[in-house]
Structure 1
Amino acid sequence: MGFPPVQAAPSFASSFQHLFPGKDNNLRCLIPCAIDQGVNGKMSASNPNSAIYVTDTTKDIKKKVNSAFSGGKDNSTEQENAGADLEVDIPFKYLSFFLDDAAELEHIKKEYGEGRMLSGAVKQLLGPS
């Protein structure tokens, strides 16, 4: 009975104020549920590139986002013809959690899914500036 609270603790950023000095307690937190168990294997502490950690630098996060598995095609011509497979696209799945604007997400879903947007553009929207 003690394990569920241990698993739930990371969802409360206020529990880790030492990691976020000067930030308010309304930080967003994503607890992956199955999106890490997909296409290229699963999230693992032994592979630091298999997940994005709160201790990652901006440079690390950008590298991980840019190398994340996407549902886009091998080249822009194929992408324009077939569109992206949003069911396996990890950056789009993360974007669906973090993007506040539902209308914008729906627009991206349509454009990317129908091939008018490339994987790099979705990764750029998700990644840190």
Structure 2
Amino acid sequence: MKLTHAPLRLSTGAFILNSGLGKRTLEGEAATAVHGMAVGAIPQLRQLPADRFAKLLSRGEIALGAALLAPFVPSLLAGLGLAAFGAGLVQLYLKTPGMREPHSLKPTQAGIGLAKDVWLVGAGLTLVLDSLTHRRRP
């Protein structure tokens, strides 16, 4: 990991790891609510029971957060994971009714929480592009 990637990886990694740790105990109505939002954006997730989905989401966030924090994980790989995760959240924002003003990308008050996740896509792509374009000096 390049030193210049550290602030980006530490801030996003700690945030996502904390989110995943907070979801470890999701059950019942809370798991159903999270699952319901996800199914609205990705209908195929309907095949998973809500409790199982919540556990997988938690584990995925923990794994991604840990990968971003671990200096031995290449920034290219960590960036790809971060960009994919962020893209999933942006898809949730775009497909969930009531998150955007009609015929617009502008978020409603309810959508601000998801709309801001576009920064995760940008951060992930920054890590990927910098990794692909960085020339190592001999």
Q: Same fold (TM over 0.5)?
A: no
TM-score, normalised with respect to structure 1: 0.35
TM-score, normalised with respect to structure 2: 0.33
Q: Which has the higher contact order (CA 8 A, sep 6+)?
A: 2
